[in-house]
Amino acid sequence: MKIAVIGTGYVGLPTGVGLAELGNDVICIDKDENKINALKNGNLTIFEDGLPELFAKNVKSGKIKFTMSTKEGVENADVVILAVGTPPNPITKEADMKYIHAASEELAQYITGYTVVAVKSTVPVNTGDEVEKIIAAQNPKGEFDVVSLPEFLREGFAVHDFFNPDRIVVGANSERAKEKIKELYAPFEGKTNILYVKRRSSETIKYASNAFLAMKIQYINEMADFCEKSGADVYEVAKGMGLDSRIGNKFLNPGPGYGGFCFPKDTNAMAYMGRVKGVDLSLIEATIRGNDKRKINMAKRILEEVSNIRCPVVAVLGAAFKGGTDDCRESPAMQIVEVLLEKGAKIRLYDPEALENAKKILGDKVYYATDMYDAIKGADVLTILTEWEDFKSLDLQKTKTLLKNPKIVDLRNLINRDEAISLGFEVKAIGVM
Ligand code: NAD
């Protein structure tokens, strides 16, 4: 099939590469000239495990191409996938639809023959209807259907998740569109659940799923706080809970709060939709409030360790919102660092992949270290904010010689606590006393 992907970011790029690998002819479109130039020159613009190899292979075979021209990508495409951003409105926190609307208007004029426009971006319920109206107004003779094709990939595992999805949800209101999407996903037939539902149900499934996962994280974080006060161990509690198949053992990992480009914005967008429709989504509202507060409380925990020092130096390991990605958008690490800076701390920051993106947020307010030990050198306390595998291999003996005070606030519970304590460290972890 001929596929156009509009928006070549964390979703569009792995999706385009994955579809090319499945044998489709893919053109990825983006407005960002730097991105398109880099991709045309064979340079990836995001960090994703397994992507470099597949990207290089499909660029070489000509199965994937890159362009800034919507015309070039869309005319002749069987399926046009919309994967542009839907960032939060800074005031209302509703999903800002300007990129979806603009891309729909642009693509409308280049539709030739029957085309399925698949909305992969996370969008409010009713967006399919809106996109349909925009395209029909621009191109009244255009033969097209709009489907909802929500994306469930996890950043850091985008390639794995593309080829091994838990489920594929398709919101199609016409049989013709459904058949086209069936053809697109034929390689997954029999290998995963492919659920065909009403378009509005599909749009809701995405938000309902992300809000539920965010709530699960907030729930285990609250249990972690409770365990710290009660002498229980949150890992034992999570294990005991997770053995109940109704609860499940995933997403019961306590930490500094959820972040990233999806959970914060999607919970806020869902809460907004509830308010607009007059539906009481109090669990989601409480999740948002609890998660926001958690990041401030985490910063306080770090500062408590250095309360006797004026302008303490804090070594921070981790900037990305989670391990395996370079994405710092809404990263708890960034938000905690901002609070530490406000309170007068000096920061020595290290992350194996995300420092370039961290610089875009923090500018010259922090010192960007060359490695873990450069960050730790001369600091009054060490804190771990992102669960990178690399941090697990931290040499604690060496760390002790480099730190001014043997204090660690491990907000990801990554280091070997027993070893650290036996070496004379004071360790504060999550959910354990
Ligand atoms: P992103 O910001 O990384 O990428 C979006 C891209 O769209 C940018 O490169 C931007 O330049 C481009 N763009 C905007 N308007 C355009 C236009 N008119 N024509 C061509 N290109 C245009 O965003 P992302 O993280 O890939 O997210 C995209 C969507 O997918 C969002 O709705 C998001 O909520 C959803 N989503 C994201 C994830 C994730 O893990 N990042 C997971 C599931 C769903």
Distance from Cα 149 to the centre of ligand 1, integer Å? 14
Residue 380 has pLDDT above 90, yes or no: yes
Q: Which atom of ligand 1 is the closest one to the Cα of 106?
A: 18
Residue nearest (by alpha carbon) to ligand 1 atom 3: 9
Ligand 1 centroid to residue 8 C-alpha, Å: 7
Report the separation in Å between the CA atom of 218 and the middle of ligand 1, taken as the mean of its atom positions.
26
Q: Please tell me the residue having the least CA distance from ligand 1 atom 30.
A: 121
Q: What are phi and psi of 164, to 5 degrees?
A: -130, 60
Q: Give the atom of ligand 1 at the shortest distance from the alpha carbon of 103.
A: 18
- Catalytic residue (one of 227, 262, 311, 328): 262
Closest atom of ligand 1 relative to the 102 alpha carbon: 18
d(CA 420, CA 433): 15
Is pLDDT above 90 for 433? Answer: no
Atom of ligand 1 nearest to the CA of 13: 26
- Asked if residues 181 and 116 have their Cβ atoms less than 8 Å apart, the reply is yes
pLDDT tens, position by position, 346-365: 999 999 999 999 999 999 99
- pTM to 2 decimal places: 0.94
User: Looking at residue 261, what is its pLDDT?
Assistant: 87
Nearest residue (by CA) to ligand 1, atom 18, is 103
- The domain 2-197 is placed in CATH, from the list 3.20.20.140, 2.60.40.10, 3.40.50.720, 3.90.1300.10, at 3.40.50.720
Residue reference for tokens 């378009």: 199
For 83-134, the pLDDT digits (tens) are 999 999 999 999 999 999 999 999 999 999 999 999 999 999 999 999 999 9
Asked if residues 294 and 258 have their Cβ atoms less than 8 Å apart, the reply is no
In the chain, the amino acid numbered 372 is M
Q: Is the pLDDT of residue 389 over 90?
A: yes
Rounded Cα–Cα distance for residues 227 and 194 (Å) = 40
Distances (CA, A) of 207 to 44, 269, 273: 29, 8, 10
Answer yes or no: 227 catalytic. no
User: In CATH, what class is 198-433?
Assistant: alpha beta
Start-end of CATH 3.40.50.720 domains in the chain? 2-197, 198-433
Answer yes or no: is pLDDT of 206 > 90: yes
Q: Ligand 1 centre and the CA of 170: distance in Å? A: 19
* pLDDT for 244: 98
Ligand 1 centroid to 35 CA: how many Å?
13
The percentage of residues in the chain with a pLDDT greater than 70, rounded to a whole number, is 100
User: What integer pLDDT is reported at residue 190 of this predicted model?
Assistant: 96
pLDDT of residue 364: 98
Q: Whose CA is nearest to atom 10 of ligand 1?
A: 7
59 by DSSP, 3-state: which? helix
Cα–Cα dist 45/39, whole Å:
7
Which amino acids bring their CB within 6 angstroms of ligand 1? 6-12, 29-32, 35, 83-86, 99, 102-103, 106, 121-122, 151, 153, 155, 261-262
Over 90: is that where the pLDDT of 373 sits?
yes
Kindly report the three-state secondary structure assignment for every residue of 382-425: EEECCCCHHHHCCCHHHHHHHCCCCEEEECCCCCCHHHHHHCCC
Instruction: Give the Å distance between the CA of 400 and the centre of ligand 1.
Output: 43
